[in-house]
C-alpha cells in the first residue's frame, strides 16, 4: 500500500513566487510514484484592496515596489530560467482581483482536492506563460470544463455561491507566500528548490 501525504498549499494565483514554488512541488511529486499525495489549495488573498476590475501590471508593480520593480521582475525571471520554468511577465497586462478565480478553485474542492489544486495551477500557467486575462469569466468557466462535469458548472452559475463564499485564509505565522504544509506538521516557506521539497516529502513519508 502506498504511503499517503497531505500537502496544504497556501498561495495566490497571481503570485510569481507561488508559480515557481508550485512548479517545484509538482516536479518533486512526479519523482515519488510510491506516494499518494493529497494537495489542498488554501487561498491567500495577496491584494485584498485590489479594485474589482484589477489594475495594469505596470502600475501595480510600481505602486508596490517603486523603483525596485524592474529588479524584482528580473530576479523572478532569472530564478525561473535557472529551473527551466517558462514565464513571460511581459505578456501580462492586467493584475486582476483574484476573488472570483479563487472561488471557482474552491468550488471544485467539493469534488476533489487534487483537481482543485490542478485547476489553480492551470490558471497560474495560463496567466504567467500566456498572459491570459483572468478577469474573463468565459475563460474561467471554459477552463473549469476540463476539470468537472457540465452540470456542475451549471449549478455553479445558477447559485449564489459567488455572493456568499469567503475562501480566503490567513495564518498568524505567515509573512508571505507560498507556504507548503506537510501532514499538518512541517512547513516550508517560499519558493523552495525541488531538493528542499523532496527532503520535506522524505520526512513526511516517515511520519
What pLDDT score does 2 carry? 87
* Count of structural domains within the chain: 1
Which phi-psi region, left, alpha or beta, contains residue 2 (left: φ > 0; alpha: ψ -120 to 50)?
beta
pLDDT tens-digit profile of 43-70?
Answer: 888 888 899 899 999 999 999 899 999 9
Task: For residue 139, give the CATH number of its domain.
Answer: 3.40.30.10
pLDDT tens-digit profile of 134-191?
Answer: 999 889 888 988 888 666 677 666 656 666 656 566 655 566 789 999 999 999 999 9
What pLDDT score does 156 carry? 67
Between helices 69-82 and 57-65, what is the axis angle to 10°? 110
- pTM of the full predicted structure? 0.91
At which residue does the C-alpha cell 463564499 appear?
A: 165
Q: Which three cell numbers stand for residue 200?
A: 520535506
As a whole number, the mean pLDDT across the chain is: 89
The single-letter DSSP state of residue 108 is: G
Taking the C-alpha atoms of residue 186 and residue 165, their distance in angstroms, rounded to an integer, is: 29
Task: Identify the three-state secondary structure at position 37.
Answer: strand
What pLDDT score does 84 carry? 96
Range of the domain at 66: 3-205
What pLDDT score does 170 carry? 60
Q: H-type helices in the chain, by residue range?
A: 16-30, 57-65, 69-82, 99-107, 113-130, 137-144, 150-158, 161-164, 194-205
Region of poorest pLDDT, from 1-5, 26-30, 153-157, 174-178: 153-157
Amino acid at each position: 500500500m502506498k504511503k499517503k501525504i497531505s500537502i496544504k498549499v497556501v498561495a495566490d494565483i497571481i503570485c510569481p513566487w507561488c508559480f515557481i514554488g508550485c512548479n517545484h512541488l509538482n516536479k518533486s511529486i512526479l519523482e515519488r510514484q510510491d506516494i499518494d499525495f493529497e494537495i489542498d489549495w488554501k487561498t491567500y488573498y495577496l491584494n485584498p484592496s485590489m479594485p474589482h476590475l484589477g489594475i495594469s501590471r505596470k502600475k501595480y508593480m510600481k505602486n508596490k515596489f517603486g523603483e525596485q520593480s524592474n529588479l524584482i521582475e528580473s530576479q523572478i525571471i532569472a530564478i525561473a530560467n535557472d529551473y527551466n520554468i517558462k514565464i513571460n511577465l511581459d505578456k501580462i497586462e492586467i493584475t486582476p482581483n483574484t476573488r472570483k478565480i479563487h472561488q471557482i478553485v474552491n468550488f471544485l474542492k467539493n469534488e476533489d482536492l487534487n483537481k482543485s489544486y490542478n485547476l489553480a495551477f492551470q490558471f497560474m500557467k495560463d496567466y504567467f506563460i500566456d498572459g491570459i486575462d483572468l478577469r474573463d469569466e468565459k475563460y474561467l468557466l471554459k477552463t473549469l470544463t476540463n476539470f468537472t462535469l457540465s452540470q456542475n458548472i451549471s449549478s455553479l452559475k445558477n447559485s449564489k455561491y459567488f455572493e456568499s463564499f469567503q475562501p480566503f485564509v490567513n495564518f498568524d505565522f505567515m509573512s508571505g507566500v507560498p507556504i507548503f504544509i506537510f501532514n499538518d506538521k512541517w512547513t516550508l516557506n517560499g519558493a523552495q528548490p525541488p531538493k528542499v521539497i523532496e527532503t520535506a516529502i522524505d520526512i513526511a513519508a516517515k511520519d
